[in-house]
Amino acid sequence: MSEHHGPDKGFLRWVYTTNHKDIGTMYLLFALTSLLVGGIMAFVIRAELFQPGLQLVDPNFFNQMTTMHGLIMVFGAIMPAFVGLANWLVPMMVGAPDMALPRINNWSFWLLPFAFGMLFCTLFMEGGAPNFGWTFYAPLSTTYAPPSVTFFIFAVHMMGISSIMGAVNVIVTIFNMRAPGMNFMKMPMFVWTWLITAFLLIAVMPVLAGVVTMMLMDIHFGTSFFNAAGGGDPVMFQHVFWFFGHPEVYIMILPAFGIVSHIISTFSRKPLFGYVSMVWATGSIAILSFIVWAHHMFTVGMPLVGELFFMYSTMLIAVPTGVKVFNWVSTMFRGSMTFETPMLFSIAFVVLFTIGGLSGLMLAIAPADFQYHDTYFVVAHFHYVLVPGALFSILAAVYYWLPKWCGRMYDEGLGKWHFWMSFIGVNITFFPMHFVGLAGMPRRIPDYALQFADFNAIVTVGAFIFGLSQLIFIYNLYKTVVQKKGEPATDQVWETADGLEWTIPSPAPYHTFAEPPVIK
């Protein structure tokens, strides 16, 4: 066989590829597509909620939109985007030539288009798509579900397999393929946070698979896991779901912590403050994430002791999370800051994620949570940690590493426009949700009482500003990557960027670190 230097030609390159950079690119493009699809669904939701009364869609379709929006954004946009970043960056950051298990890597990506294709098709099935919320509480999602729920279950199984394989790959790569001399406490923060994330994924994705399998059995094979009439327990569904679900939300934020740690340090021209404490804090958050799940269920009627336990454990999470925020602020303090697009998104991340974290602390207080639970206050809270949290970190990462990936600088002016429009849009969208939630508007309703009308109109305007400003991002990507209009990037790209990925040429060659670098 001839020596294998470059990629194959044509479409089959992408089908057969085992190259971490190709697979990373595909994951990122997949995530971007999902972001647009899920975003259009958000537009439908917000357009219907622009004014009181039913204008555009019937309540059943509205429920399908909220459900699909949640599922697509969580499993189709945020998670694949992080896996894509891990694929591109982990081997380059630890000085490895590729991921440890390249064929599994290919398969774990190619499962996703089929899983989501199947999920998307449910919209056109008789009875409509899943309409029971992304948390799919039984028995609404079993006994009372539309027939398409079976396809939803298999889609979840497929994306679960994909996530587990992706996580195994990350762990094996990090454990076995680090360059000589890179011990654990020298690993870049992104690698650390992804390592911990991967363990969370392996721990909880099987739990998700278990809960949907129990649903499948209840629906088709006459079991009664979640049916009280047959001796089952609908609340058990929630316990199992949230035992997956809470670590899941940290799966969507820990890699973000890694990303902003790199970016803030680079653009403050100062080393990250408290690296060791950052690692410990990430680990603590991951461990705590397993013992807080029932704070999503304060109103199901748990015994007092249960409520107290989950209230205290949840409050405790504020401590390591606080440590991280304080460390980022200290990294900026007495730095020499510049404000390129990745830094702007990272600073916005710290501020807005902190707001989301603080509202999380409020939600932890069980007696107060009785007033917040399942209102727009919760919607505001988790969108603050997921949109200007997770999503902003992903956007920051793309701007930060794009010159390394494609060898050209993006258009900084367009990047700033994208940032400011997103920043303003995101706050107009999600900040008023706090008020409308405290004022008493339940989540997942297609129509609302008149006193919520003003805020909902504002929220809808914000949502369209935010959504449409993502087109600037897409145009910027197109201009940089396809039209190749940007300045050629240097190897180091950013003045004080630190790490192995900045030692290789820009754009990164198809194969990197065939010879491992030596870490001093």
Partner 1 sequence: MNRMGINAVFILILSFLSCSALAEWGLNIPLGATRISESVHGLHMTIFYICVAIAVVVFGVMLYSIIYHRKSRGAEAANFHDSTVVEIIWTIIPLVILVVMAIPATKTLIEMYDNTDAEIDVQVTGYQWKWRYTYLNEDLDFFSNLSTPQEQIDNVEAKTENYLLEVDKPLVLPIDTKIRFLLTAQDVIHSWWVPELAVKKDTIPGFINESWTIIDKPGIYRGQCTELCGKGHGFMPIVVKAVTKEEYKVWVAQEAKLQAAAREVKDMSFDELMANGKKVYATNCAACHKADGSGIPPVFPALKGSKIALGPIEDHIDMVLNGKPNTAMSAFKEQLSTVDIASVVTYERNAWGNDKKDFVTPKQIKDIKDNNK
Q: 416 or 479, CB closer to partner 1?
A: 416
Active site residue 162: yes
Residue 295, classified by CB atoms within 10 Å of its CB into exposed (0-12), middle (13-18) or buried (19+), is buried
Distance of closest approach, residue 117 Cβ to partner 1, in angstroms: 23
Q: Which of 246, 383, 408, 434 is catalytic?
A: 246
Cis peptide before 507 (omega within 30 of 0): yes
**Residue type (1 letter), 357:** G
Q: 424 or 438, CB closer to partner 1?
A: 438
Q: 20 or 381, CB closer to partner 1?
A: 381
CA of residue 96 relative to chain centroid, distance: 25
Active site residue 295: yes
Active site residue 134: yes
Q: Which of 34, 66, 67, 98 is catalytic?
A: 98
Active site residue 324: yes
Active site residue 485: no
State how far the Cα of 38 lies from the Cα of 271, in Å rounded to an integer: 37
Distance of closest approach, residue 130 Cβ to partner 1, in angstroms: 12
Distance of closest approach, residue 297 Cβ to partner 1, in angstroms: 8
Distance of closest approach, residue 302 Cβ to partner 1, in angstroms: 10
Three-state secondary structure along 6-34?
A: CCCCCCHHHHHCCCHHHHHHHHHHHHHHH
Distance of closest approach, residue 447 Cβ to partner 1, in angstroms: 5
Three-state secondary structure along 403-440?
A: HHHHCECCCHHHHHHHHHHHHHHHHHHHHHHHHHHHCC
Active site residue 475: no
Using alpha carbons only, what angle is made at residue 223 by residues 222 and 228, rounded to the nearest 5 degrees?
A: 115
CA 334, 339, 342, 347 dihedral sign is positive
**Residue type (1 letter), 517:** P
Q: Which of 22, 218, 248, 411 is catalytic?
A: 248
- Give the phi and the psi of residue 187 in degrees, each rounded to 5: -70, 140
Q: Which of 20, 21, 46, 69 is catalytic?
A: 69
State how far the Cα of 37 lies from the Cα of 65, in Å rounded to an integer: 11
State how far the Cα of 362 lies from the Cα of 370, in Å rounded to an integer: 11
Active site residue 443: yes
In the block, residue with structure tokens 């600037």: 472
Q: 200 or 219, CB closer to partner 1?
A: 219
Active site residue 412: no
**Residue type (1 letter), 351:** V
Q: Which of 108, 141, 321, 469 is catalytic?
A: 321
Active site residue 246: yes
User: How many Cα neighbours within 13 Å face the side chain of 337?
Assistant: 17
Q: Which of 163, 314, 346, 429 is catalytic?
A: 163
Active site residue 296: yes
Q: 58 or 487, CB closer to partner 1?
A: 58
Active site residue 506: no
Q: 30 or 190, CB closer to partner 1?
A: 190
Distance of closest approach, residue 225 Cβ to partner 1, in angstroms: 13
Which residues are catalytically annotated?
Answer: 69, 98, 134, 162-163, 246, 248, 250, 261, 295-296, 321, 324, 443
